[in-house]
Amino acid sequence: MKALLDFVILCRGMTTKDRIKLLLFALGLRPATSVYLCITPDNLKESFLFEHTLRMYKIIYLRGREKSFEEVKKIQHNKIVWDVTGLWIDYDLFHTVKQKEQFIQYRKLWQLDKERNKRNTIAGKLYDYPLCCITQYNKETPRYICKNVDSYAFYNRMHVIDKKFSLLSYAPCSLLCKNALSQQNHFATAIRNASLSFWNHLHEVDVYETDVIVESENDIIVDGKSIWKTKNGHDYIVLAVTPFHGKHWFYTVLSKKPYPVGTVLSATIKQYATYGEVLLGREKGYIKDLHHERNLPLLRREY
């Protein structure tokens, strides 16, 4: 599948995470996968090229409808201003008809919000996740998490997974899971052998200084309330004030100190290929009534 491998290397409309998934699928290391392709004026031909390549190799796929996507255009006073910058298309890829049928069964259960454990198991097996990780994921309901894990430990685990298991598309059952570690190492060897340039890209890191704004906080909400009555850690979504490669990026950062939404802090950001690491500095101010503004010119409406 040389043409598909070449597409992965040259593609501009997919995130690095999705390029990893597509590369592993092309190498036959994933039985099925799902990816998003963003189309902007800079890569108008990529959807045609991608679908042409899939048909050339007789890869079975489902194509979603085009949907518009937005990016932060500017930060103006207390407004985060968004603008429509392109379209995105979701693709589900399969090697066999049976895999496609399994996906459709999973999707129907998901759309009906029925049989959570059954649909998770179908999806986990379809994407070749280890059984121990599927079982643990099914176990981790909000009630289970509340009883067994505090807020800091829960989100710290997510951040460690981003770094330690960057080639995987699921949360391992533990940070010491032998099956997940084996997959991570196997995938790493395969990617390095398939494309040294892409492998080197995965290990690039950029560092930049910027102020960040606390935009919101990640949480698990049940009946309108957090599952944790008290929190010993806060997983914030922060927005970089300084554009990086021409864009304002959102990051997650775990803090034991609480900050209200709108807090402005100095920060050092290490931008890796698949995630960003934020080191918060001193508090520099507060933006009152921080809100988002989205302009929809076709509807002539702001909200």
The predicted structure's pLDDT at residue 297: 58
Query: 86, 110 in Cβ contact below 8 A?
Result: no
Bridge partners for 2 per DSSP: none
Residue-level pLDDT at 295: 75
Output the pTM of the full model.
Answer: 0.92
* Low-confidence stretches of the chain (pLDDT beneath 50): 299-303
With tokens 């207390």, the residue in question is 78
What pLDDT was estimated at residue 285?
Answer: 96
Question: What radius of gyration do the chain's Cα atoms show?
Answer: 21
E strands present in the chain: 32-39, 60-63, 67-76, 79-94, 205-217, 221-222, 225-226, 234-240, 250-255, 263-272, 276-286, 291-296, 301-302
Judge contact between 253 and 278, C-beta under 8 A.
Answer: yes
Contacts of 289 by beta carbon, 8 Å cutoff, 6+ apart? 78, 262
Cβ atoms of 82 and 293 closer than 8 Å: yes
Q: How far apart are CA 222 and CA 301, in angstroms?
A: 32
pLDDT score, position 299: 44
Pair type for strands 234-240 and 32-39: unpaired
Q: How far apart are the first and last CA of the chain?
A: 46
**C-alpha closest to that of 117 among 134, 131, 101, 103:** 134
Share of the chain above pLDDT 70, in %: 97
Residues 133-142 have pLDDT tens digits of 999 999 999 9
Containing H/E element for 297? Answer: none
What pLDDT, on the 0 to 100 scale, is given for residue 199? 96
CB < 8 Å & 24+ apart, contacts of 242-249: 242/208, 242/209, 242/210, 242/211, 244/206, 244/208, 244/210, 244/269, 244/271, 247/71, 247/72, 248/71, 248/72, 248/74, 248/75, 249/276
Query: In this predicted structure, what is the pLDDT of residue 138?
Result: 96
**Residue 28, phi then psi, degrees to nearest 5:** 80, 15
At residue 21, the pLDDT reads: 97
Q: In whole angstroms, how far apart are CA 123 and each of 19, 28, 172, 274?
A: 20, 18, 15, 23
Contacts made by residues 216-222, CB under 8 angstroms, sequence distance 24+: 216/261, 217/261, 218/155, 218/252, 220/142, 220/145, 220/146, 222/142
252 C-beta neighbours (distance < 10 Å), count? 18
> Encoding tokens for residue 295?
């302009």
